[in-house]
Structure 1
Amino acid sequence: MSQVKLREKGQVTIPAELLQEWSRKNHVSTNDTIEATLANGVLMLIPKKRHVAKRDIMSFAGTGKGLWGSSVEEVDATLKKIHNSWTR
């Protein structure tokens, strides 16, 4: 996992190897528009013009790995915390 520094004006520099891989997978190049959104505390960068390719369900395997924790106990604790935050 790479670390980046948040600059005074809210800017970050994405490490070259991560940017190259992400750009290649998402068919993004210089000056393309990218949407930034926050979901469950995770900042996501989503290309505005998304390349739509036919994929089977297995192409999504592992996409959420580590999102809620890195062990069974951490995942359970996170899910309990989310569940307890629901209003009844």
Structure 2
Amino acid sequence: MSDAPEDLDAWVVTLADTLGLGADEHPIGLLLDLTRDAAHGVTRPAGPLTTYLVGLAVAQGMTVEDAAARTRATIAEWKTEPSEPA
């Protein structure tokens, strides 16, 4: 199994098609960066969960850029002062 970017791009296109999401451009780098930021800034398992929640926000109409900005702001706040779950 290769970690080459072209393999990752091909995987995303294949999975998007399988899930009925079309062949639109998918922000792979942005999502990988957010996953890393959450894993390092909150806790490792927060990475994929963060990406999932961003996807839900985008599915409900938020732009991926806005969702990413809000996520980064929340991670930055979390690093300085962890909050209690609601």
Decide which structure has greater strand share. 1
The TM-score with structure 2 as length reference comes to 0.27
TM-score by length of 1: 0.27
Higher helix share: 2
